[in-house]
Amino acid sequence: MRILLATTIYTLNGGGIASYNNEVRAELSTGNCFDLMTIENVTEMVGFQKVYSVPQLQLSGFSEYKRLADEINSANYDIIINSDSEVITILAPFLEARIVTISHTFNNMPAIEAGYNHKYVNKVIALSDAGRHFINNYFNITDKNKVTYIYNFVQHEVDNNASIKSKRDCLNIVFPGGASMMKYPEMVLGAVNMLLKTDLNFRFYWLGNLVLPLSGISKPKTINQLAKQDERLTFTGRIPREEAQQLYDDANIFLLPSRAEGCPMSLMEAMCSGCIPVVGSAKHVCREILDDGNFGVIVKHGSSKSLFDSLEDIIRNHEKYVYNYNKTYEYSKNQLAANVWKGKMEIAIKSAMDSSKIYIPFTKSAFRKSYYGFKYHANKLQLKERWLSIKGLLTFNYMYYFKKP
């Protein structure tokens, strides 16, 4: 098959969507040839016959979008994989090739890109069952076969460290969320400050960007300013992926009580060597995986006290939780393997190829309907994200003035 992979970024920059795109091309390359569409300023890329460099700022109106649609149609692709491409989302009604869209997140922009114009898409792939339900409900999709879900896969080869980790007196706790509001840092911070008031034996590693939301108008600028100074707590800031992976591999407890997740590679990579995953009760993929595998600890969504109580119990009564090391290792090895993902992807693509593609003439009125309809959903989502940043600003300043350790 001739496949167009359309995305924002393909060049690896530490994980995320770019990493997913690289894996798609690598795993599906046998018997297929790929072209690439990206907003990066590149003219060629290893593994692709042709590269469309389409900086979105250059697409200023009807004529530019129509030229691009005509060029794509003339290439006669068998299928287009839309992996976070706003351009393909807008052009979907006017493209003749069958389209598979990937929703990289649970309920924000990539999910909107995947589900919008679903009438003109053959298959939507969410990365979790919760993501599938969100897209179906948000866009009122009545064809229940339109949207499926396929978990990410992980290829991190590492030994099962259950025997080593289960014997430790000092447990390593890893939280990879930085100050991202989607990772619920205020909840984690409250629990950490409670832990630091105890004499418990642990090491807590807080990874990621420490800059708080709206830091330009905030009194505290970074999240470490709000934590009690203690040798048991380390804020690493941004570190190379290899260093982060070493901490994941060495984690006893991997902490990810997020507000929402797509299908986090960090959790899956930590599970490869065996860990005790601790997540929130919000209905997204983290809880989904723990429920499916019957392992880990689920704490009350948004509750620092619930998180503290669980972490304290794991540290004090470690022997009750050591079964998690083998169970997470086996689950990642058997359920999150590349061959499992590839098999499900091939089924989804075949389903898309077996269905007919609806497309309409590229007229100015049809284009405006597609373009401004998408912008409506995008702007609504941006308002939600801005409110979350404002909430973070208010929360962290309150903590700074009234609850600082």
Determine the number of helices (DSSP H) and then strands (DSSP E) in the chain.
14, 13
pTM of structure: 0.91
- For 133, residues 6+ apart whose C-beta sits below 8 A from its C-beta are none
Query: Cα(first)–Cα(last) distance of the chain, in Å?
Result: 60
What pLDDT does 207 receive? 97
What pLDDT does 109 receive? 87
What pLDDT does 58 receive? 60
76: left (phi over 0), alpha (psi -120 to 50) or beta: left
2-153+337-362 has CATH 3.40.50.300 classification: no
In this predicted model, what pLDDT tens digit does every residue of 250-292 receive, in sequence order?
999 999 999 988 888 899 999 999 999 999 998 888 999 999 9
Residue ranges of the chain with pLDDT lower than 50? none
Q: Where are the domains of the chain?
A: 2-153+337-362, 162-335
Residue length, the chain? Answer: 405
Three-class DSSP category at 57: helix
What pLDDT does 105 receive? 86
Side-chain half-sphere of 306: how many Cα atoms within 13 Å?
13
Q: Which residues pair with residue 80 across a beta bridge?
A: 4, 99
Do domains 2-153+337-362 and 162-335 share one topology? The answer is yes
Q: Answer for the pair 135, 141: CB distance below 8 angstroms, yes or no.
A: yes
Closest to 255 in 3D by CA, of 170, 169, 172, 163: 172
Distances (CA, A) of 220 to 113, 224, 229: 35, 9, 15
Three-class DSSP category at 84: coil
162-335 has CATH 3.90.1150.10 classification: no
In this predicted model, what pLDDT tens digit does every residue of 199-221 receive, in sequence order?
999 999 999 999 999 999 999 99
What pLDDT does 15 receive? 63
Token couple for 249: 């591999």
What pLDDT does 404 receive? 75
Q: Which residues of 309-337 are buried (b: 16+ CB within 10 A; e: fewer)?
A: ebbbebbeebeebbebbebbbbbbeebbe
